[in-house]
C-alpha cells in the first residue's frame, strides 16, 4: 500500500504526538483570529459557536491526511475542497488563494515550531519534507503560488505575516469565545502556549504576555518524556469534552 506520507517521515512523527498537536492547535487558534480572511470562518456561524471544535476539526483533517494511504488522503483533500466550494457558492464569492496559502503555511510553521519547542531541532532536510507534504495538499486543492522549497516558503511566510494579519473585532470576539469555552485557567494556559509557539508578529498584535510561566512546565514535560509519563499538556489546556479527541490523536508512528 502506498501512503500519502511515508511511514518513516518526520511529518508522521510530528502529527503522531498529541501534545505537539496541541501546540499546533494553540498557534493556529491565535493566527486564525488575526487573519484578514477570518470573516470567511464567521460566515457559516460555526466557528464562534464552537471555536475549539472547529479548530480541532481542521487539525483532525490534516492528521487524517498525514496517516492515510494515497487514495484516502486524496479523498480527504477533495472533501475539504468541496466544503470550501460550498461556502463560496453560498456567499457568492471566492476565497482568495492567499487565504488558502495562509492556512497551509501556518500548518507548516506550527508543525516545525511545536516539534522544536517540545522535542528537538529539525534538520534542513526535515523542514523541506514538512513543506513538501503540505505543498502536495495545496497542489491537490488547486492552490496557486506555492513555494518550491523551504527557503521560498520562509520568504512567502514572512510576507504573509506582514500583509495578512490584523487585529479586528473578529479577533476580540473570537478570544472572548475561547475564554468562554475554556474557562479562565485553561484560557490563560492557551495564551501562554501561544506566546511560546507563535511568531513575533502574531504575539505583537495579540499583545501576549512576556512572562512565560509555562516554560518551566515544558522543562518538566521533557524530563517526564524520558520516563514516558509526559502526556499532561492536554489536561492543562482542554476541557473534558475535548480530551478524548486529543487522546485519539496520540498514535505516533502507526
Q: How far apart are CA 88 and CA 94, in angstroms?
A: 5
Does 2 map to a domain? no
What predicted TM-score, i.e. pTM, was given to this entire model? 0.88
pLDDT of residue 119: 87
Confidence band for 235, pLDDT divided at 50, 70 and 90? low
pLDDT of residue 148: 93
Domains identified in the chain, total number: 1
Does 4 map to a domain? no
pLDDT of residue 229: 43
Query: Residue 66 sits in which domain range?
Result: 10-249
Q: Is 69 helix (H, G, I), strand (E, B) or coil?
A: strand
Does 5 map to a domain? no
Confidence band for 254, pLDDT divided at 50, 70 and 90? very low
Does 50 map to a domain? yes
pLDDT of residue 142: 94
Residues 6+ apart with CB under 8 A from 145: 97, 98, 101, 156
**109-161 pLDDT, tens per residue?**
999 999 999 889 999 999 999 999 999 999 999 999 999 999 999 999 999 99
Judge contact between 51 and 59, C-beta under 8 A.
no
Q: Is 165 helix (H, G, I), strand (E, B) or coil?
A: strand
Amino acid at each position: 500500500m502506498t501512503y500519502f506520507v511515508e511511514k518513516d517521515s518526520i511529518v508522521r512523527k510530528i502529527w503522531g504526538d498529541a501534545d505537539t498537536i496541541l501546540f499546533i492547535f494553540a498557534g493556529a487558534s491565535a493566527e486564525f483570529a488575526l487573519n484578514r480572511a477570518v470573516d470567511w470562518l464567521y460566515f457559516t456561524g460555526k466557528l464562534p459557536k464552537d471555536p475549539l471544535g472547529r479548530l480541532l476539526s481542521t487539525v483532525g483533517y490534516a492528521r487524517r491526511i498525514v496517516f492515510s494511504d494515497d487514495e484516502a488522503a486524496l479523498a480527504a483533500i477533495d472533501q475539504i475542497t468541496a466544503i470550501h466550494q460550498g461556502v463560496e457558492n453560498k456567499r457568492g464569492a471566492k476565497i482568495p488563494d492567499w487565504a488558502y496559502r495562509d492556512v497551509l503555511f501556518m500548518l507548516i510553521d506550527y508543525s516545525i515550531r511545536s516539534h522544536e519547542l517540545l522535542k528537538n531541532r529539525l534538520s534542513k532536510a526535515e523542514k523541506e519534507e514538512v513543506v513538501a507534504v503540505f505543498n502536495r495538499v495545496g497542489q491537490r486543492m488547486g492552490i496557486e503560488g506555492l513555494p518550491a522549497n523551504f527557503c521560498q516558503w520562509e520568504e512567502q511566510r514572512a510576507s504573509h505575516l506582514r500583509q495578512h494579519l490584523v487585529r479586528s473585532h473578529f479577533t476580540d470576539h473570537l478570544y472572548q469565545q475561547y475564554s468562554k469555552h475554556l474557562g479562565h485557567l485553561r484560557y490563560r494556559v492557551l495564551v501562554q502556549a501561544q506566546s511560546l509557539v507563535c511568531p513575533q508578529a502574531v504575539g505583537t498584535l495579540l499583545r501576549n504576555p512576556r512572562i512565560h510561566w509555562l516554560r518551566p512546565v515544558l522543562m518538566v514535560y521533557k524530563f517526564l518524556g524520558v520516563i514516558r509519563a509526559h502526556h499532561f499538556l492536554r489536561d492543562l489546556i482542554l476541557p473534558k469534552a475535548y480530551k478524548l479527541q486529543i487522546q485519539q490523536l496520540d498514535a505516533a508512528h502507526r
